[in-house]
Amino acid sequence: MEIAPSKLEPQDMEKLKSCGVTRRYHQGELVFSEGEIADNVYFIEQGNLSVFLYEFTNRVEVGQLSAGEFFGEMAVMNDGKRSASIAAMSDTQLIVLDKPSFLRMLNSGDEVSEKINYIVSRRTEELILKEKLLATTGINGANLQISIKGDPSLRETAFFRERYESVVDKVLPELIPKLKILLLERSVSEVFLHFNSGEISLTSVFDPFNYEIHPANKLVDDAYLDRHFPVIDYAEKARLIRRIYDAISAEFDYLPLPQHCKDLYLHYYKNWRPLATVEIAKVIDHLSVLRSLPDFYLRNLGIGITRDAIRLQFNCDGTHIISTRDYDRFLADNVGLQGAA
């Protein structure tokens, strides 16, 4: 079985010397700084380097690089600025390619360019996953906790705002078992619950590219559920979603998509699994507790069977995106619910 490259070999570095220049850096010497215009790509022949950022006046290291690795290519390829600073941790020797030389080398089609193209492609996928917050849960959802801060004035006034019982609050004890039925036994694949407005947005496996809006007080009625949401076994619902992903995958050979996009989606489709039923039940069962917290109570919640993530928005400010596998720890750390499981 062929092993995917993660670094370049010494013989690869020798070949790169023909299209670049060699530069030496002493321990502590800066290669470039965050925010600078990107004009070169750097290949590490010898030595170790530190990747760091400045938070106010504090230097925070975010990674280290060693012989066989290369850096700086993302900003060069995207005509961007340096996103971090890099300095030598020891006496270091780099092979430096300017942008035209680097692009010519990438398109040369030799063994070294194939290795570099592969590594660049993997890095691009990783960057996309980091930038698309919820997409990260499709592949690397374990221990995910992301907070998106909102208006700080909302947090400052959270303790002083009067609290009102919403339409959802009035029917919540009856609604909770119905939400579990919709996700576990009916055609619904995603639920987004709005406590303030009293509406619930629902997506069906039979129309996955649209969502419906239903009043919360209607969803407690069994006859209403029967009219709108047919019964379907959870495993069968997952099979339909898998078929949709397979159908999209089959079209990729005919679509002019960038290769890194194809690879990213194909990897996700191949490894996709529906959210465990026990996790769905656990999240829904805690709605009453999260809504009745004395100061920071739940305003909105989103959960779907296609991804391991919960979207929570509280009255204070901002949004939390949490892996279901990290849900108990989030409750314990943020709202003081110990032993939530």
* Residue-level pLDDT at 138: 41
Asked if residues 280 and 305 have their Cβ atoms less than 8 Å apart, the reply is yes
DSSP state, residue 159: T
Tell me phi and psi for residue 41, to 5 degrees. Answer: -115, 140
Distance of alpha carbon 62 from its chain centroid, rounded? 19
* Tokens 């023909």, located at residue: 18
Tell the CATH topology of 10-131.
Answer: Jelly Rolls (2.60.120)
* Residue-level pLDDT at 129: 56
Asked if residues 187 and 172 have their Cβ atoms less than 8 Å apart, the reply is no
Asked if residues 165 and 173 have their Cβ atoms less than 8 Å apart, the reply is no
- Domain residue extents for the chain: 10-131, 145-335
Distance CA(256)–CA(317), nearest Å, equals: 41
* Residue-level pLDDT at 324: 65
147: Cα within 13 Å, side-chain hemisphere = 9
Q: 321: which residues sit within 8 A by CB, 6+ positions away?
A: 133, 134, 137, 144, 145, 146, 147, 148, 309, 310, 311, 312
Tell me phi and psi for residue 336, to 5 degrees. Answer: 70, 25
Asked if residues 128 and 160 have their Cβ atoms less than 8 Å apart, the reply is no
Asked if residues 201 and 194 have their Cβ atoms less than 8 Å apart, the reply is yes
* Residue-level pLDDT at 249: 92
* Residue-level pLDDT at 319: 59
Mark out the alpha helices in 107-202 (DSSP H runs).
Answer: 111-131, 136-140, 152-156, 167-185
DSSP state, residue 80: -
Distance CA(121)–CA(260), nearest Å, equals: 6
pTM given for the model: 0.61
Q: Retrieve residue 168's tokens.
A: 């959802």
**What is the pLDDT tens value at each position of the chain, 341 positions in all?**
345 567 899 999 999 999 999 999 999 999 999 889 999 999 999 999 999 887 666 787 878 999 999 999 988 888 888 888 999 999 999 999 999 999 999 888 888 998 998 888 777 766 665 555 444 434 344 444 444 444 454 445 544 456 677 889 899 999 999 999 999 999 999 999 998 888 999 999 999 999 999 999 999 999 999 999 999 999 999 999 999 999 999 999 898 887 777 887 888 888 888 989 998 998 899 888 888 877 667 888 899 998 877 787 776 555 566 666 667 776 676 655 544 43
